[in-house]
Structure 1
């Protein structure tokens, strides 16, 4: 399984080997964990299997170009920040890249320090968006109450349920993002600390447990919802 890193996980999509190696080294010196892809197809495969805090995307790639990869990522509801890199400085290409979902754009040849500043800014912004308003030690929904400090819950039947650490972490994440879909990737990274995903059944089983604990009719859940192919949502 992957490990956690404080600075962030970056996918570097660059087909020029020398530049790829130089950028990887400089990003690693800044404390980032870097995964490389040399073409668009490999980039899409990596994005489907791993969690990233940022993608540095070269536009000119063999077969599938960076703009097509970016468009594909956004069509799959993945909101990972994308910094697009291009050898062309044309404003038309820049506008197209931003239209297709890039968050920022830098042209070659670029100043390394400027690139590192943009990387840091995008990752920090993304982490701030992920850090939703935290909830306290106690939370109530319907006739269910959660005590996060004690890692226990009392459900609508008055039954006391001991929660595992992972159950408490996942509950907290869903409750803090109330009414928003939390992508499966984000859950696995935040709760399990993986950047390489285990099977999706892992999270599904936890959601089934929550329904069993807290839903009066687990077949027609009111609180815990699975959004097929995207993630999970808590509504109250």
Structure 2
């Protein structure tokens, strides 16, 4: 399991990132001050750090500079509200591996994390394994799906995310609201009918003539049966 350190002083952002990364299967530690984040980085083994630039104690730039000066090679993604090119260049010159400007897409951040972990060899191999779900062979990490003849199956990111959520709760009933909250989040709320439409599309891709894998629980929601 890849281990990620989040150093962020905005509590809502810190909690949101922690919860989403844990949902994705990462082990997460947090700090809300730059100096505390540097101490944790010095003391523990992490596969990646999400590091805010504007922090109390030490700035993200200073944390990055000191960590690199001490020979700490843990990959660092800077989180910054600033959009100036100079700040981005400075962060990279100080040893950061990447940067994301707030506000950012969670999907984009997750993709950047996965790319860096794969590049550095710190990716959790279990997250890359393909899974058999009905008639599909699926890799949630690579966002790839293949049919029984090993031919690629086109799926949208939302279809992958819904199927991933159902898979994590296989055998359990999940409500439409659960899916809306976990896949679309609080910033944008489609209707429950939107979820139903995505489920219909998923069924055409994973169900076989012999068996249905996404079961409707009337009045409640859905259940994935493997």
2:54 aligned to which of 37, 56, 60: 60
TM-score (norm 2): 0.53
Q: CA separation in 2, counterparts of 1:15 and 1:80?
A: 20
User: Which of 9, 12, 18 is the equivalent residue of 1:15?
Assistant: 9
* Matching of residue 28 in structure 1 with residue 22 in structure 2: yes
The answer to whether the aligner puts 1:127 opposite 2:121 as a matched pair is: yes
Secondary structure at the counterpart of residue 35 of structure 1: strand
**How far 1:128 sits from its partner (Å)?**
6.6
CA distance, structure 1, for counterparts of residue 39 and residue 72 of structure 2: 14
Gaps of 5+ in 1: 130-236
Q: For each residue in 1:64-98, what CA deviation from the matched residue of structure 2 results, as whole angstroms up to 9, or x when unmatched?
A: 10000000010011111000010001000000000
Please provide the CA RMSD for this pair: 1.3
1:73 aligns with 2:67: yes
Deviating 4+ runs (over 3 angstroms) = none
After TM superposition, give the deviation of residue 123 of structure 1 in Å. Answer: 1.1
Inter-partner Cα distance in structure 1 for 2:42 and 2:92 = 22
Could you list the per-position Cα deviations for residues 125-149 of structure 1 after superposition, in whole angstroms to 9, with x for gaps in the alignment?
A: 11179xxxxxxxxxxxxxxxxxxxx
Could you report, residue by residue, the CA deviation over 1:83-118 in whole angstroms, capped at 9, with x for unpaired residues? 001000100000000000000011000001000000
Asked if the contact 2:7/2:52 (under 8 Å) is kept, the reply is yes
Report the secondary structure of 1:28's partner residue.
helix
Is 1:102 the counterpart of 2:96? The answer is: yes
The count of aligned residue pairs is 123
Ranges in structure 2 where 5+ consecutive residues have no aligned partner: 124-226
- Contact 2:64/2:96, CA 8 A, preserved across alignment: yes
Answer whether contact 2:7 2:49 (CA < 8 A) is retained: yes
* Structure-1-length-normalised TM-score: 0.51
Match of 2:38 among 27, 40, 44: 44
